């Protein structure tokens, strides 16, 4: 049975991968071209990541956009 991924889960996954790769929030924001305060809010679950933001974060972290939605990345 597939589980539904929500926006909070994705923010937590992005932050976990960022920490695993020892990338600061400031650096990730710069590489993903997202304002730092916006990224910080998104990682805390305040608002949803846009598709464009998610694509840029995926590129900065060198993962596919689809990986945020798969059970394997949980």
Average pLDDT of the chain is 85
What one-character-per-residue DSSP string does 25-70 give? HHHHHHHTT--HHHHHHHHTTSS---HHHHHHHHHHHT--GGGGGS
pLDDT tens-digit series, residues 26-44: 999 999 999 999 999 998 8
What is the share, in percent, of the chain residues with pLDDT greater than 90? 55
Nearest to 31 by CA among 64, 55, 4: 55
In angstroms, how far is CA 19 from the centroid of its own chain? Answer: 11
Residue with tokens 């790769």: 21
Enter the pTM of the model: 0.81
CA distance 68 to 74: 8
* pLDDT(8) > 70: no
């Amino acid at each position: 049975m597939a589980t539904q991924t929500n926006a909070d889960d994705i923010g937590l996954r992005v932050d976990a991968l960022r920490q695993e790769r020892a990338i600061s929030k400031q650096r990730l924001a710069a590489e993903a071209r997202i304002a730092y305060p916006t990224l910080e809010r998104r990682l805390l679950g305040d608002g949803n990541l846009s598709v464009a933001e998610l694509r840029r974060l995926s590129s900065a972290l060198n993962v596919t956009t689809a990986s945020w939605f798969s059970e394997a990345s949980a």
